[in-house]
Amino acid sequence: MKYSDLDKKLQEAIEKAENIAIENIKEHQSFMPFILHGEKMNKVKKIVSKNIDEIIDIAEEEIAEMEDSDIVILIYQDIIRLNDGDVNSIVSQVYGFEEDSGYSFGLGYRIGKDKIQFLNKRVFLGEIRNFLMF
């Protein structure tokens, strides 16, 4: 799936969440995983863990109980493997109430000389279970 194939509201939500992560990376070189939600996508729920499996487990529980948003974004850092090597990535897992499944994308970046350099486009990491659907 291409990022551009996503519903515009889902794209906007991902970009808003990524911008929060980018600001944290600029300040600290990293960020705590978080869930962005709320009717206006203005609520942030931080996840206190650096273990990917634990982050996803915690997020699954939190997202399944959220009733204040039609869109929820889980954001965390990970390394993704590309054909030309590994790259740091802001991973976005987007859940939309009207979607059959959730989607995961990676925004790859490199940090050099006090500047963040992003890959040209987001990498589709796969479909995921949509926890907003019961």
CA 55, CA 59: separation in Å to the nearest integer?
A: 6
Calculate the CA 63 to chain-centre distance.
13
Q: Is residue 134 situated within a structural domain?
A: no
Which domain does 114 fall in, by range?
Answer: 3-128
Q: What is the pLDDT of residue 122?
A: 94
CA 71, CA 86: separation in Å to the nearest integer?
A: 30
Q: What is the pLDDT of residue 129?
A: 87
DSSP 91-107: EEEEEETT-SSEEEEEE
> pLDDT band for position 6 (50/70/90)?
very high
Q: Which of 83, 81, 4, 16 minimizes the C-alpha distance to 44?
A: 16
CB 75 within 8 A of CB 92: yes
Q: pLDDT digits over 33-64, tens only?
A: 999 999 899 999 999 998 999 999 999 899 88
Q: Is residue 28 situated within a structural domain?
A: yes
pLDDT at 66 over 60: yes
pLDDT at 133 over 70: no
Q: Is residue 133 situated within a structural domain?
A: no
Count the domains in the chain: 1
Q: Is residue 117 situated within a structural domain?
A: yes
pLDDT at 16 over 70: yes
Q: pLDDT digits over 89-130, tens only?
A: 999 999 998 888 999 999 999 887 778 889 888 999 999 988
Q: Which of 10, 9, 12, 30 minimizes the C-alpha distance to 21?
A: 30
In percent, how much of the chain has pLDDT > 90?
66
